[in-house]
Structure 1
Amino acid sequence: MQFLFSTIFIFLTLLGFSQQTFSVYFDTAKYDLTSQESKRLQDWINLNSKSKILSMEGFTDEVGSISYNDTLSLKRVGYIYNQVQKKVPVRADFKTNGFGESKLISENKAENRRVTIYYLSEFQIELEEFIINDFKVQKSLDSLSIKALDKLNIHPKLALNEIVQKVPEGTLFNLEDIQFHFDSAVLMLNAKEELNKWFVVLNKNPNLKIIVQGHICCIPKDDILLSSKRAKAVMDYLVSKGVEKERIQYIGYGSTRPKFIIPEKNGYEALMNRRVEIVIQEK
């Protein structure tokens, strides 16, 4: 769980979002708050009723023994948790840590006597689903030997179902006709027509499982959120047609895996970078 917690912060950084933190401070040897700090905490609670807490960490200054300070830091975390519980949502894998005096950040003792709350803002919660999903799906992809369809000795004029039946797990299909409305995850009409072919294939092959990969073009800064939303839109469309959700996974790569250098030289290169791919996960 701690590894997944760290991964969330890594992905938030990649997406251009700074880590959200809030700290409250304590008097020497105390684990309850002064009236001034209590007001600061209540103001934070009022502003963050729709945020989500990931973790809390407690700290002390160096006054007292190491064991005393370890216990004191945990008491401080427990006190703050009791103040915020049922007022601000927490993740299912919420973590608390007491570091005592082991992580002093300032020569000013007052700044070391604190509890720090790590959280996702209301806006960032939308990212949580995609961050955790992409992390898990990448582990599935890492277990496969990926090879593009055009690198295999398969006759290109075969029907899609015949091709799928012939190729090994890990085969990657590039879906050039899957297009979206500008800067959105809304499928265009021709994209749905192309996906209907995949619905037929999935319907005929009940053991078939796939992973949808989303990519974007044109901007060097990775927009993993948009590419994930587009890949999810493909999954959602197939599920809406009747495919079991457990048979489809999705992941977004932003612009981290372009076929052509960004910025692209022409529309064709942009089209090749702005693509959706399907990987055969299991047959």
Structure 2
Amino acid sequence: MKLLLPIIFLLCLSANAQQDHEFTIYFDSDADVPTEASKAALAEWMESNKNAGIHTISGYTDTIGNTEYNRRLSIRRIQYLIFRLNAGYMRKKWKMMSYGETQYTSGTDAENRKAVITYTKQQKTVTSGLTQLFKEARAGEKIILRDINFVGGTSFIVEESKPILKELYIIMRDNPKLKIDIQGHICCSADDTGDLSKRRAMEVFVYLHSNGINGDRLSYRGFGGSKPMHKIPERNKEEMAENRRVEIEILAN
């Protein structure tokens, strides 16, 4: 047990260098669901911190029970929060720290039965103008996601495109009546080998749906190279980039 303490201490130092706020949720003895008071506090925190940048979720227990049982109990407490938070936050940046009884405060057992979210408060969302386009659009109109790019010849979205996906998610989250059709297009050839345009549109669908947007509000399809903005073969890289696009058709708003 003692051998773990220096590692845990270093991990905490590394995390604290990046965070400036903590939110604590409390649990009853042997429970992996928060107390009723903490459930209400969590709902209020989520409503007030929709754009928070979460860095770590740490689980703790009291010292009742054996060490391994308490380690698993702290994991279940973390998993409860993952389920609640998964829809609105950038999960890929989270660290899960399951401490069980190996690190606890000097307070009472009730104070040690907890999970702690460390976060950057109210991160400012940088918009690309997409939000304004959606505000002005009507049913039947189309919006091009100009900053969505893929690894060449694949449906893998490049890391630099993640902010525009996040913005699209926020638009869908904040406009619950909005329904869209995600449409993929390719460049360079009318022949869509491997249904690439559809798979690229599906990647956007999967991102939105996995982050909590109801599938009834989303559809997707691929048009291959059948609806180019510029005649194929294109004359330059700029025309290729404009043909190789993802469009959003507004179905209802």
How would you bin the TM-score normalised by the shorter chain?
0.3 to 0.5
Question: Radius of gyration: which is bigger?
Answer: 1
TM-score (norm 2): 0.47
TM-score (norm 1): 0.42
